Amino acid sequence: MSQKTPLKNRSERPGNLVSIEAYDQTSRAYSKERNQRPQINFSAYLTIAVLVFLVIFFIWIYELIFDLWGQIL
């Protein structure tokens, strides 16, 4: 097998998708993640508060309807 064109090094080849820059040891992108407990965001607390409010509201409506029904009869 004979090659008509001489081999080129990687930087001279066309179409390199991966850069040839050295691995950056000082970058924060390669730092190990710290073990932190997951933080519950505000939307989770708001969802719980709305659900509790709706349960209490519907129980109040239920009691009101049957109280009035008992007074009417």
Domain ranges of the chain: 41-73
pLDDT of amino acid 57: 98
CA–CA separation, 28 and 10 (whole Å): 27
Mean pLDDT of the chain: 77
In this predicted structure, the answer to whether residue 68 has a pLDDT above a threshold of 70 is yes
Length of the chain: 73
Can you read off the two tokens belonging to residue 64? 């009101």
pLDDT of amino acid 25: 59
Contact 42, 50 (CB under 8 A): no
Can you read off the two tokens belonging to residue 12? 């001279």
**What angle is formed at CA 27 by the lines to CA 22 and CA 31, rounded to 5 degrees?**
120
pLDDT tens by residue, 42-67: 899 999 999 999 999 999 999 999 99
3-state secondary structure of 46: helix
